[in-house]
Structure 1
Amino acid sequence: MERKHAEIEREALAAVEDALEHPSDARSSFVLKHEKLSDPAKARAIALLDAGMSGGGLMTGGASACDDEDEYPDRIGGYRVLRLIGRGGMGNVYLAERATDDFDLVVAIKLIKRRLITKDLIERFRRERQILADLNHPNIARLFDGGETEDGVPYFVMEYIDGPPLDRWLKHVNPPLENRIAIFEQICNAVETAHQRLVVHRDLTPPNILVADADTVKLIDFGIARPNDRPETLSTGSAWTPGFAPPEQKDSGEATTLSDVYGLGKLLGLLIGGGAPAELTAIASKAASQDVENRYPSVSALYEDIQNYRGFKPVTAMRAGPTYLFKKFAQRQRLAAAAGTIVAAAILMTLIIVTQAYRETERARAEAEASLADTRALAGTMMFDVFDEVSNRPGNSRARLMLAQNAQSHLEALAADPDASYESRLAAGRGFFRLAAATGTVGTGNLGEMTEGLALYERSADILEKLYAEYPNDEVRLALARTHVSLTRDKSLAYVNFEQSREHGEYARDLLLRIENPSPAVIAELGMVSRELGGVLGCCLGKLKEGHEAIEEGLLLIKSAPSEYREDPAVRRAFNDLLNLRAGYQIVFDGDGASIELFSQALRNQRQLANETNLPADHRLEATIATNLARTLLRMGRPTEADQVIAPIYLEALSAYRTDPADNDLQRRLAVISIARAYAAAQKSQRNQAEDYVEEGLRLARSSEKPSGAQAKPSLNFAHRLQEASEAYWANNQIGKSCELMRQSTALYRQYAEQYQLPFTSLRYRVKPMEEKMKNCS
């Protein structure tokens, strides 16, 4: 019976596909006159045309129509249903909110219609849930949770996207061409990420692309997507949307990554409309070619041609005659000074030019003035513009170090010149700051060489301090303060010297308060130094009152800043981190329960910021706050809520780590998150999962430790991970393993305390509870 229904569905969809080639008022007539179409298939095709055929997908936003026959449950899992917001061929989507009041979370929940449940449909639904769990991208709707209702109906909890589908956005907003291209680039990036995970979407259509606030795209409905378990090809059923399905998918039901390229070509054609530049039309036509061999070989190749168009370079989809090529060359020359996008080829070219220019200055010093100026400009471009661009993209820890090291050799030579200019010395001081951040620091992507990183920060401070003595202006003052803020953070969080950390922080705060013309950058640094002082005073020196006052001062300072300053991403990031630490103080003063609201507020704020900027720094802070909230919930015996908080962060961190396994900070962060997931799984009696997570966390913790320099002393970070893992093992009823880890952890704490001052919070919240629990160990 199901097979016959599938055949009718395939016939109907093929007829609708053909009907869409006719004017809208002639389509029903075309279907009714179709000689080879069965009556049931004709009826189904007419119904699809009347419904405005959206592919049978399920929306995670408010874009899809609803009908009166849909069921309306009061609750699904741990969520309270608010209303039905979408429906498709396989099920419904409900707007819901968390049923508990500890923190707010509005979601979209996808649920199969009971009257349609079959074994195949349930399998397809579960497949989509797994696919979404494996995908992590700012332009793909996020999976938060999943499960089954009491009567066995599967569901999953998605990010709620409050935005219209692509075609409705185009109609009502009518954005300029530049915005349309930017939207298309986001779609390409999302699809490319899916392909890298061996997933083909198969239904890239306007209803499956929602446009949220600030023109941010969210790709949804992977219900007919499947893992690509054979190279290039995968075979599925008949689900596809007329008007956007490639010929091979209609004929055989098989889809490849090139099928998605076809869908992207159709979307690009919709976005640019009629009257678009010939090059964009050519790109859309090539992508949506009926012949698979004539399409772009990958999404990345299509995206590259879009970048060629943007950069006034020859587009491969065009017939490139001499006149066309010359025209592109001339356009590039006119706009060379305004070039803003830096790609890998530009990085390599800059390195080559800088090196060659420097050699020439050494060979011909007498003729070097002009070349020296060029070298300085190019080195500065590589050290600052290119470095910052690479830093804002994940997976580039080694590239950041390479850029900093290559450029720094030239900037250091300039700074060593007794006749070096103000600009050269300032650039050298800032350059050492960036080199430190790439070599070894806390909280950013780096290679984990903490001793070298601290030495480079000290070198930056030395250069800038001497410059400040001669030029006590706001520019140098801010650069010097930034270096001391970093020294405050790293000497505290790497447990190097707490008193020195405090001194660096107080000096940085004094410098910042002396700046005559504050800017958002100054406000952000003041917020950051308040946070770092609050941390070292409370956590490490046991001065809780002073630390809490530092946090409150930082929050008040940001709240008092002009409104336009408070909207700056760096200021918002600093404010959220201050809220995060204020929540930590609430635990000390009033217990775990008092911190939940503050942690939740900080997490909501930071998650919104991370979604807006997609910067690694914002995703790192989001993970930190989420982990703090999850661990607090776990201490309160609320593992389900904790896992809902930590699960999406785990997937995001795991994806980032796989992209850049050399990033030491990512290793440390994933170790913390993995052990937290282990603790949650153990509390939910998921013993095998708990053991897998804790072993993963310990492996990452060990690999992130460095055997020399700042890490040669007993590692408190590793002692912390052992203590956290012992909690997970204890909750998992693996008492022997827990006791062994507690012995190792307390031994490290004792070794550290014999030489250095043990942080107040480590003693109160880690060592003493372990000592009490170890009384039960044999």
Structure 2
Amino acid sequence: MAARVPDLREGDPSNLNALVAEALERLEHGGSVELERWAAGLASPRREAVLARVAHLQRLGFAPDEEDVTRATAEPERAAANGALEREGSIGPYRLLARLGAGGFGVVYLAEQHVPIHRRVALKLLRAGFETSSVLRRFAIERELLARFDHPAIAKVLDAGESAEGEPYLVVEFVAGEAITDFCRRRRLAVDERLALFREVCEGVQHAHQRGVIHRDLKPSNVLVMERDGVPAPKIIDFGLARALGGASREHAMTREGTLLGTLEYMSPEQAEGDADIDIRADGYALGVLLHELLVDDLPHGRLRWREASLGQQLEMIRSLEPARPSALAPSKELARRLAGDLDWIVLRALAKDRERRYRTVAELAEDLERHTSNRPVLAGPPSWSYVTKKFARRHRGEMIGGGLVLLSLVAALVYGAYAFRRLEDERASALVAKAQAEQAETAEREERERAEVLNRFLAGMLVQGNPLVSGTRVALSDVLARAEETLASGAVPEERTRLRLDELLMQSWRGLGRYAEAERAQARVLELVRRRDGDLARSTLRAEAELAWLRARAGRAAESLEALQRIDRLQRENGFDDEDTFQVRGFLAGALRELGRISEAEALYAEAIPGLSRTAAEPTAALTLRRSYALLLRETGRLAEALEALQAIAAELRELELEGRLRGGDVFLPALCASDLGSALLASGAHVEALPHLERALEFQVRWLGPEHEQSLATRNELAIAAKAARRFDLARRSYEELLPILRKQLGPHAKGTLAVQNNLAVLLQLMGELDDALALYVELVPAARAAFPAPHPTLATVLCGHAEALGQARRYEEAIALYVEGIEGLRRSVGAEHAWTQQRMQALNEVLRQSGDTAAAERLAAGVWPPR
């Protein structure tokens, strides 16, 4: 632990702060010689306090060191001559477009690359005159660390090199997003939406930690969010302060780039103290600050209080002042009630002063948030009986209200049965139930063996219910699975063969629900047990490892799974394996390559795996599943006609298997999956009428097994509405939109883009149906929300305004219609251009409304190109 720095509050703090500021200025312009000369004129106690504070700031990276200052002051002419701050032209194959920002020693540009591919990138250039050994070392460290990552939540490093003048540069993925806090605030995301986004950030940070890298500068401006296909996608950027775990020395660890004002509030106590042994829990602390800010839009110590504090007071806050509970800083009582309890406990654990009391890993933090959202007891809070009971009741509220107490009794029996099974191992004379207590002592051992077997079957039966294909009560079954997982984790089933079977069932059930993170955890336990039983190279071990890798790919971590699948495939080829497992692995590998966009490699493997699996698999559905995956690849690569042909053939074969009663277990869901794929492909091809029965069938299955609010159900319902509208099945389209809209309002919020898009589609549909009153009523709600979500001149807002104007025109409310048309068209002219087809179509509609209103002069001016026409 570093020695404690003298507190600036000793004496007159304002005077001391002014002296420190003066000292930093002299250090920057004259180096240590000038600093020492100036400090010699201070009284001894004050001089020691100021110099100690400057040294502390240097260790933190808030002040330049001597080497940096010497080089910067010795060569100002070179720095100015190269014009690094206002540079134009190109660096290597990158043409500079704009300056995105600048740090103490580097400038970040938006650049464009044309060869060998066309893309926009962020280019970080080391300023001329600052090529000190420490700065060059930091540049090299940043490049090396970034090269380790392959995760969708981390900006990728693309290139590195030197300019013609010898200046080092680093090229990374350009992230056209905004700070995560700004994104959530502007879109008014609900708490659950913010937590989901934050968990994605945690996954990215955990990926870095697994690669041996600590970020050390996590803050909102380094976590950007952009939208990809309407879905928020976070990206972690700027690993310039990152360090590798187990670094060789403190010198290498303390990388810096001059002044880094504004990040102190995200530093852990040990990082603010300047400790050399920073570990991953420092990033966990920073994420705790970020989570606090996401939940209540305020810092743990209060933003206003923080800004008014001196630097010394801020450091003291980090060291010793306990943070406020998020609920205590919530801007509304409703939000305070939402945060009280679980989320307060989770944030405070992440912000513990003593890092031994924090979450050990970022994955633990994310898992605790998942436990909260699924109404399971969190690890951060005191697990009192009343708390756990309340959580259980909330999880099963639907069953309690609906009278489905049988499921609750089964869960209770599971808990009791697991406890009794454990006692069987310790006290062989104990009984499971009251009947066993009445048995004679001489039959006790036989009864215990029988009951252990019954319990095993009972547990297996409970877990099978977790598969949505069996029960259909998705929420309740998620709770059953979670409870079963907790029971297994408690050591209630010590016998390994039983535990292996239960973990396999857990994995299959979680996978059936589409919960790949939970399925992955269960499969990891399966792999551990199989490996311990059969050895590293056993066929069973390779099969379990391949299944685990595929689950990771399904969870969006295809790059992580690729190495394991390639290794297993290589072993199988070297040993001449030619069975179902062999071709299943090749199918998994093809799917992972498809996820990574390596299409030609994926197609080559599909060409091997599909016929191989058709020949060797015990069940025909194995090959059909792989053929479906290949059909999706065809669609993703623009070969829609081929995809349609493949999906139609798969659907026909599945119908035959259904009629023959040959679909069992998880296979019964395949027809619904294929129906969804086929309906979506037909819709994309313009075959709206043909798409309808497939989409209706898929939706029926999804609502039954997954629930009406599952993301797959929502996506299919939206496609059904679009197809029905295009097929002029207006009643079906209206019913679909009206069922979809309240769910989106609840899940996304009334002002979310997805909600507003569906609301706008419904309003347009109502106009087509001639239901003008209903359409106008919907627009009255929609327009203010669109103004808030899409500030002018956003084309989406303009489209909504013109839609409202069209409805008003149909209702003969011409003046209101004309005003909205003018506003909407002005937005289109500014956003997409006056000559764009959207703009021209709306101008023709405005011309018609002007004529209907009797203002032919304005209509003629508009036709002559005069804007605005009035």
Fold similarity call, TM over 0.5: no
TM-score when scaled to structure 1? 0.45
Question: More relative contact order in 1 or in 2 (CA 8 Å, sep 6+)?
Answer: 1
TM-score, normalized by length of structure 2?
0.41
